[in-house]
Chains A and B, each alone.
Chain A
């Protein structure tokens, strides 16, 4: 993992290549880029295609008419707005909680001296090895006993903090010079004041990585909500649109409209903050 951890800004700065060969690279890259773009293009197009055209045979590549009927049906006949709200709550709480708890813990492990520190940090790193499916059954039983199953709380709690987040923040704080903090301590600040006034403002790049990691993971999470939430009042967006596949199997424009609603926020965010996203991806194998 250390190969990757040395880089926080991996955004490609292209090295100049010989111009003569660039035409060949275009011939290779243009079709590949088109192929990669195609599923999303289909998603938007299908969401806007009238149902009568989708089921026509042979299917047309480009719809003759565009309509918002799919979106209208989606908003009128499903709980999509509620699910959207639920997902925003899960991701919002997750990102905030990650930023506070993981940076506190990361700072503690990087700077403070106390008994049990190394053992504690070792335990945290060791948990990164534990695969999530090992935890599903006991966590399900635990959450049942806590009364969290079938509530939004079940989706929120696992995103409050993570070993990866603690690790990321610790590595970042280790790279900061300690002099500023020492000066602030001499001026009479307490540790907590130093942390919030001096350290956190300097940690913006690491916090951005942490926020994107948490946002992407919590927004797209399907497996755990699928197990823990069976009540459509507490559905997340991902759970909601997955459920469509059973119930609305043939209503493709509605399905794709739901897909657009669930995916567009992340697409927009990715395009707006591409650099930060790439940095986050290099730092971790989120989807792996």
Chain B
């Protein structure tokens, strides 16, 4: 009995000690959990402290206005009166809007002129500049320098160079005995002039990207082609060009997205003229929103353009995936 008592008491004591110990462990682990939580709270605090300020600015000036733009596109509003909800009426108007259709046509024309020439010119210039010949540094600087010219600056230069009366281009034509042209004042030439000057300003971009890609082509490949008896032309089209395919896809998309958003060079040269021949989608959107104060309709056009951009990008990416050209 005593023994049992002793035992029991001992065991009780033991059990008591055990529970005490268990209680202590529970306390400790709760404490640790709290500590971890505090530490992870501190990590969250620290993390958001680092990324927060920039995120507020970036999201505040992109996601927030993008959502707002969609709401605006469902309204009719001039910025002063009370906005009225019109549902999808703005989008419906877009379909039948003749001026918008004309703007789309002008944009497509510019894109068709600009994108292939800028890609081919970039490829050509990169191949030409990618060799160790004397003066190549000067050639490079001359070709790359226009990249720093702003749209405002390019616009002033364009109106001067292509001025029908005293511009350099007509002056050269006159000396050569060729007929004088209207250039920016001629509806069928104005977009060509804008394309030429866009190329002047942006050839550097595609060229630099192709140059970088050319450096990455393993020398052994060209060496092997040469040993196999390929001439310069053949080894370019059968070795170099296929190696550049991902870059070609990339610059094509990039230049297309840029081209369908053309605005500033039009503004600084023709303001959409002559006879609206250079009025692009974004120019039309800007006019609707900020000249005619149709905030709702302007936003709808902007969303339409965004949708087209997305579709083109996704389409090209999917296509290049299927053809195994990994550009992205």
Contact = CB atoms under 8 A, between A and B. Distances in A.
Interface of A: 1-4, 7, 10, 12-17, 21-22, 25-26, 28-30, 32-34, 36-40, 42-43, 46, 54-59, 61, 101-102, 104-105, 107-109, 112-117, 120, 123-124, 127, 129-142, 157-158, 160-163, 165-166, 191, 195, 216, 219-220, 222-223, 226-227, 238-239, 241-242, 244-245, 252, 255-256, 258-259, 262-263, 266-267, 269-271, 274, 277-278, 281-282, 285-288
B20 interface: no
B129 A29 contact: yes
Given A3-B328, A241-B153, 9 more contacts: A1-B250, A17-B131, A36-B145, A130-B306, A134-B66, A141-B79, A166-B55, A222-B264, A223-B264
A200 to B, nearest CB: 13
A255 B152 contact: no
Contacts of A104: 50-51, 53-54
A59 B160 contact: no
A17 to B, nearest CB: 4
Contacts of A39: 146, 149, 154, 157, 161, 197, 200
A61 B171 contact: yes
Contacts of B305: 131, 133-134
B205 A281 contact: yes
Contacts of A191: 46, 50
B47 A17 contact: no
A104 to B, nearest CB: 5
B8 interface: no
A164 to B, nearest CB: 9
Nearest to B140: A12
Contacts of B161: 38-39, 42
Contacts of A242: 152, 155, 267-268
B95 interface: no
B150 A219 contact: yes
A27 to B, nearest CB: 11
A281 B212 CA distance: 11
Given A30-B139, A131-B305, A222-B267, A57 B166 contact: yes
30 contacts: A1-B328, A2-B328, A12-B211, A13-B215, A15-B132, A21-B232, A25-B133, A32-B143, A39-B154, A39-B200, A40-B149, A55-B166, A57-B166, A59-B168, A61-B171, A105-B50, A105-B55, A108-B49, A130-B63, A138-B66, A138-B299, A141-B295, A142-B65, A163-B58, A165-B54, A220-B150, A222-B151, A222-B268, A238-B153, A274-B144
Contacts of A266: 148
B74 to A, nearest CB: 13
B57 to A, nearest CB: 4
Interface in B88-140: 125, 128-136, 138-140
A211 to B, nearest CB: 14
A124 B58 contact: yes
Given A115-B44, A238-B152, A274-B141, A287 B205 contact: yes
B72 interface: yes
Contact of A131 (B129, B143, B214, B261): B261
B142 interface: yes
B47 A256 contact: no
A120 B50 CA distance: 12
Contacts of A277: 144, 147-148
Interface string B51-88: 11111011101111110110010000001000000000
B17 to A, nearest CB: 40
A239 to B, nearest CB: 8
A243 to B, nearest CB: 9
A10 B51 contact: no
Contact of A40 (B136, B145, B204, B299): B145
A163 B51 CA distance: 11
Nearest to A109: B51
- 4 closest residue pairs by CB, A with B: A114-B47, A108-B50, A10-B212, A220-B150
Contact of A262 (B46, B152, B209): B152
A56 B165 CA distance: 10
Contacts of A219: 150
Nearest to B197: A39
Interface in B255-293: 255, 257-258, 261, 263-264, 267-268, 282, 285-286, 289-290
